[in-house]
């Protein structure tokens, strides 16, 4: 008898660790995973923000717990992986961007962007990947960006870091596949989050992003939640090493002109 497709989305009895779950896309993912039955550990550098996400989870009837976590600390990441060694899902959302043209950047800019986006992802994948491989199952969801594929002036270091996340994701997928661990990257497009506040504060910049997308608008965090749930659950059991765009069609459209044909 074929397995129920609906049942494939059930995350009951599973623990999901959502890093960066205190706000933005991470918070949306944490709420969605809890709605599908997962016990969600909300990890965030901002403990108050993590606790607020847990409050929303429990208010909706789910279960969760907050965890203060700094992705730039190897010791903190290692300790979190040990404490939550039974986690079957890991979602890695933290991001940091220094929007400057390369000639105006500093070594400090480079180091921080790489440490949070690329090395932070590496630390988490390494630590949780080991525990998942030891248990023979797991799903790791990294957050890259459409900027891993296409850039604009001022996004160079961030784009390089996110391109690195894509390659780390593919590598770990190939290395842990036989251990029962799937690893996939989400590539969000233009979403309205705290990370894009700088763009929102510039009406011309904000509007240009709206007009580039075929949908002619920015994405909202909840519109990424379904992709997170899909990659976390058994509905995606044959999906690994993928880079999934959730970009409102940005990469499908060159955005120059709409001819009257």
**What is the rounded distance in angstroms from the CA atom of residue 234 to the CA atom of residue 153?**
40
Q: Which of 42-46, 55-59, 207-211, 255-259 has the lowest mean pLDDT?
A: 255-259
Mean pLDDT, all residues of the chain: 96
Average pLDDT of span 176-199: 94
pLDDT at position 153 is: 95
Average pLDDT of span 72-91: 98
pLDDT at position 200 is: 87
Q: Using 50, 70 and 90 to split pLDDT, how confident is the model at 254? A: confident
What is the DSSP-derived secondary structure letter of residue 203?
H
**What is the rounded distance in angstroms from the CA atom of residue 166 to the CA atom of residue 186?**
9
pLDDT tens-digit map of 223-238: 999 999 999 999 999 9
For residue 90, the tally of other CB atoms under 10 A from its CB is: 30
100, 43, 46, 112: CA torsion to nearest 10: -30
Q: Using 50, 70 and 90 to split pLDDT, how confident is the model at 248? A: very high
pLDDT at position 143 is: 98
19 neighbors 91 (Cβ within 8 angstroms): yes
Domains located in the chain, CATH noted: 13-192+221-245 (3.40.50.720)
**What is the H or E stretch that residue 64 is in?**
strand 63-68
165 neighbors 148 (Cβ within 8 angstroms): yes
Average pLDDT of span 254-260: 83
CA contacts within 13 A on the Cβ side of 115: 12
Q: Which of 132-136, 140-144, 198-202, 246-250 has the lowest mean pLDDT?
A: 198-202
Q: Taking Cα atoms as reference points, which of 8, 11, 6, 5 lies closest to residue 32?
A: 11
Average pLDDT of span 241-250: 97
**What is the rounded distance in angstroms from the CA atom of residue 81 to the CA atom of residue 76?**
9
pLDDT at position 1 is: 56
64 neighbors 113 (Cβ within 8 angstroms): no
Strand partners, 182: 139
Average pLDDT of span 4-22: 96
3-state SS, residue 17: strand
177 neighbors 240 (Cβ within 8 angstroms): yes
Structure token digits, residue 118? 């690329």
Q: Using 50, 70 and 90 to split pLDDT, how confident is the model at 257? A: confident
End-to-end Cα distance, the chain: 50
Handedness of CA 254, 256, 257, 261 (dihedral sign): negative
Active site residue ranges: 158
Handedness of CA 81, 84, 88, 91 (dihedral sign): negative
Average pLDDT of span 119-141: 98
Average pLDDT of span 118-144: 98
Q: pLDDT at residue 252 above 70?
A: yes
**What is the rounded distance in angstroms from the CA atom of residue 22 to the CA atom of residue 195?**
13
What is the DSSP-derived secondary structure letter of residue 73?
-
Q: pLDDT at residue 155 above 90?
A: yes
């Amino acid at each position: 008898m074929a397995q129920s497709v609906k049942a494939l989305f059930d995350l009951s009895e599973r623990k999901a660790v959502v890093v960066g779950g205190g706000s933005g896309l991470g918070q949306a993912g944490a709420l969605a995973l809890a709605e599908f039955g997962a016990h969600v550990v909300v990890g965030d550098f901002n403990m108050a923000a993590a606790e607020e996400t847990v409050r929303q989870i429990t208010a909706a009837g789910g279960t969760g717990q907050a965890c203060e976590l700094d992705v730039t600390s190897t010791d903190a990441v290692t300790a979190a992986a040990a404490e939550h060694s039974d986690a079957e899902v890991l979602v890695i959302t933290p991001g940091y961007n220094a929007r400057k043209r390369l000639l105006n950047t500093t070594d400090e800019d480079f180091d921080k962007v790489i440490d949070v986006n690329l090395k932070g992802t590496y630390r988490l994948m390494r630590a949780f990947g080991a525990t998942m491989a030891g248990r023979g199952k797991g799903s790791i969801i990294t957050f890259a960006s459409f900027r891993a594929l296409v850039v604009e002036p001022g996004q160079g270091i961030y784009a390089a870091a996110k391109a690195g996340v894509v390659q780390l994701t593919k590598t770990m997928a190939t290395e842990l596949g036989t251990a029962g661990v799937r690893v996939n990257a989400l590539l969000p497009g233009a979403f309205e989050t705290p990370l894009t506040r700088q763009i929102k504060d510039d009406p011309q910049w904000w509007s240009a992003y709206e007009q580039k997308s075929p949908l002619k608008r920015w994405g909202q965090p909840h519109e990424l939640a379904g992709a997170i749930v899909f990659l976390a659950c058994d509905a995606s059991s044959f999906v690994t090493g993928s880079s999934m765009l959730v970009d409102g069609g940005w990469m499908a459209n060159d955005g120059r002109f709409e001819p009257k044909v």
